[in-house]
Copies of this chain bind each other. A is one copy, B any other.
């Protein structure tokens, strides 16, 4: 699956790092394989020797406990190993993992199952990042190259009217209950006391966001957090990332090409600051992550995911009753990313997976159009700094009931 994502790409497309936050596809491919090698094969597979002694230096992301590594911003400079060698690395490690699984005894399988499961989920996260980062890379090229010409067919749909769905207050359970896989940041499950609240029945659309722009939203500090106003001013934000004004109309970069902004599609590639300012401008607010989880836990996990091949958010179809909690865009919440009460990170290097990032980031929920569908769940917590815009991030409104 991961390999299929880079099929339409040249080795040059896979090489480039357009900003420190967006890593090259080749690096993603090698890093996820390094993860299996480092945390499964080396400690557990008898006699396994590292594929290359220096790959840990190149493909360790941030695990201090594993050892030194190149600076994050230098990932795009690593022209060797070539893409072909990275594929060979992947094949070799995949084969060793298969071999390990075929020969390990039951006790070993039980002991290593959590790492294997984590490795697969980790790979899914990087599948999403490959596409997300690539979109940013291609956007920096004035030729406006296309990732897949069959992706993201424009459409002229009409989004249903927004309704407010009411949820009662009281004591609720939040977090993962222990069945199936979940990250350590979704645990432990805990109780929270909330007041009643209302959530919008669908995502904010481009049309609605454009009204905010047309109303002068980017020029009115009263809607903005102080930090957000400073960012928007110094970076010259006037619209979501990838939007461009052409002959009086907004166009946008998509993975299927440059095309007019569709009014009915969910707005995407906004920062937390923009999402928050938009919400204040409407008189509403963003949901707390607990509110979102309470609402979404009653819905099935259906939506526009990576597998749709659309690579772009889709208009919510009226009449289906779907609130669109899953897929399309990650939904910014008003919740800073903090540990759940009593959270215990895993021991060793894997304890660095989530806990050390719990500062200066906001929680997003629900997955996007480039998230693998089997990766998401209602307790899933994604997180990015409030100024991040290159993720497929959008807006759902909330208010007090």
Contacts and interface: CB of A to CB of B under 8 A. Distances in A.
Interface of A: 10-16, 18, 26, 54, 57-58, 62, 64-65, 70, 74, 76-83, 137-138, 140-143, 145, 171, 190-195, 221-222, 224-229, 272-273, 334-336, 338, 341-342, 352, 356-360, 386, 400
B341 A360 contact: no
Contacts of A140: 74, 77
Contacts of A70: 142
A221 B192 CA distance: 32
A228 B336 CA distance: 16
A171 B80 CA distance: 55
Given A57-B142, A142-B57, A192-B193, A137 B79 contact: yes
Contact of A11 (B12, B65, B195, B356): B12
Given A12-B15, A227-B359, A359-B227, A137 B221 contact: no
A62 B225 CA distance: 12
B195 A341 contact: yes
A77 to B, nearest CB: 4
Contacts of A58: 142-143
A335 B62 CA distance: 25
A266 to B, nearest CB: 23
Contacts of A76: 16, 76
24 contacts: A10-B79, A12-B12, A12-B14, A12-B15, A12-B26, A12-B79, A12-B83, A15-B16, A16-B76, A16-B77, A18-B77, A54-B143, A58-B142, A64-B221, A64-B229, A79-B137, A80-B143, A81-B143, A226-B356, A226-B357, A227-B360, A273-B359, A336-B338, A360-B386
A321 to B, nearest CB: 28
Contacts of A194: 341
A293 to B, nearest CB: 16
Contacts of A226: 62, 356-357, 359
A193 B195 contact: no
A142 B58 CA distance: 8
Contacts of A229: 64, 356
Nearest to A334: B338
Nearest to A361: B227
Contacts of A225: 356-359
A157 to B, nearest CB: 31
Nearest to A342: B400
A363 to B, nearest CB: 11
Contacts of A171: 193
Nearest to A348: B222
B15 A79 contact: yes
B79 A13 contact: yes
Contacts of A57: 142
A140 B58 CA distance: 11
Chain B CB within 10 Å, residue with most, of A82, A335, A336, A400: A336
A387 to B, nearest CB: 10
A79 B135 CA distance: 12
Given A62-B226, A74-B140, A140-B74, A79 B193 contact: no
